[in-house]
């Protein structure tokens, strides 16, 4: 059977197709935003994301600055933490983690009758090295994180990627970020998810990678 087997050829051809099909739409995005949009479309095969993604002014730059300093990325799912390129993160002294399956977190969540996502993000936010948040699943994690920032218990992070997918609270949770002064990237409405969160961070990470000539 004849099919493209070389991974680099597949990736290059995929991005060519995305650019062709985006057409004029691609011109609406800046040179730092377009790679993010294209990577999300690459991951989802869903061009609607070009209309749904919203990137706050300076969010990409804020994330790039943070990446240069090293730190931790909190992910609200294990899928995100495992999906990020460990090799690339290692180069910047970054690590990604999730507490959603942590035993203590699960026990506390059960006791309090709240989601593990709420308890997980509370624990993560206490760690001053955690300055990037990738929320791809739980609106409750995003609501709680915003509460903690608003109350001053947690300092403003370098970036919140707020892309919970779903039908209960997902769309609403993302609406709390615009106007908050927090650097953010969101997907408006119900769509999003763990692979979308991963691809957004990769869309930023690979820009740095490229600039530094790796």
Residues that bind its own copies (CB under 8 A): 1, 3-7, 10, 13-14, 17-18, 42-46, 78-79, 82-83, 113-116, 118, 139-140, 143, 146-147, 165-170, 172-173, 189-195
The residue (of 56 and 98) whose beta carbon lies closer to its own copies is 98
Q: Which of the residues 33, 42, 123, 209 is marked catalytic? A: 42
The residue (of 33 and 190) whose beta carbon lies closer to its own copies is 190
In the complex, what is the shortest distance from the CB of residue 166 to its own copies, in angstroms, rounded to a whole number? 6
The residue (of 56 and 194) whose beta carbon lies closer to its own copies is 194
H or E stretch covering 110? helix 103-112
Query: Per-residue b/e over 28-45, b at no fewer than 16 CB within 10 Å?
Result: ebeebbbbbbbbbbbbbe
Can you give the three-state secondary structure of 37-63, one letter per residue? HHHHHHHHCCCCHHHHEEECCCHHHHH
Question: What token pair was written down for 106?
Answer: 């699960």
In the complex, what is the shortest distance from the CB of residue 112 to its own copies, in angstroms, rounded to a whole number? 9
**Residues 11, 14: Cα–Cα separation, whole Å:** 5
Question: What token pair was written down for 168?
Answer: 């209960």
In the complex, what is the shortest distance from the CB of residue 126 to its own copies, in angstroms, rounded to a whole number? 20
CA 62 to chain centre: 14
In the complex, what is the shortest distance from the CB of residue 109 to its own copies, in angstroms, rounded to a whole number? 8
In the chain, beta strands by DSSP E: 53-55, 71-75, 94-97, 130-135, 159-162, 184-187
In the complex, what is the shortest distance from the CB of residue 108 to its own copies, in angstroms, rounded to a whole number? 13
CA gyration radius, the chain: 17
100, 123 contact by CB (below 8 A):
no
The residue (of 143 and 184) whose beta carbon lies closer to its own copies is 143
Residues pairing with 185 in the sheet: 55, 161
The residue (of 106 and 208) whose beta carbon lies closer to its own copies is 106
Active-site annotation holds for 33: no
Residues annotated as catalytic (active site), given as ranges: 42
């Amino acid at each position: 059977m004849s099919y493209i087997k070389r991974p680099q050829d597949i990736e290059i051809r995929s991005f060519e197709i995305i650019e062709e099909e985006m057409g004029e739409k691609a011109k609406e995005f800046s040179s730092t935003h377009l790679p993010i949009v294209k990577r999300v479309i690459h991951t989802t095969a869903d061009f609607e994301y070009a209309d749904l993604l919203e990137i706050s002014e300076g969010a990409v730059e804020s994330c790039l600055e943070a990446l240069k300093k090293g730190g931790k990325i909190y992910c609200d799912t294990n899928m995100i933490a495992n999906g990020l390129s460990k090799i690339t993160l290692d180069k910047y002294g970054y690590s990604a983690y999730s507490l959603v399956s942590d035993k203590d977190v699960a026990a506390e969540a059960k006791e309090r009758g709240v989601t593990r996502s709420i308890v997980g993000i509370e624990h993560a936010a206490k760690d001053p090295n955690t300055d990037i948040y990738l929320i791809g699943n739980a609106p409750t994690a995003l609501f709680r994180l915003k509460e903690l920032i608003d109350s001053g218990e947690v300092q403003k992070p370098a970036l919140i990627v707020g892309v919970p997918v779903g039908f209960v609270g997902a769309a609403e949770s993302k609406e709390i970020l615009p106007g908050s002064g927090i650097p953010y990237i969101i997907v408006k409405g119900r769509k999003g998810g763990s692979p979308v969160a991963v691809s957004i961070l990769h869309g930023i990470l690979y820009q740095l990678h490229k600039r530094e000539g790796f």
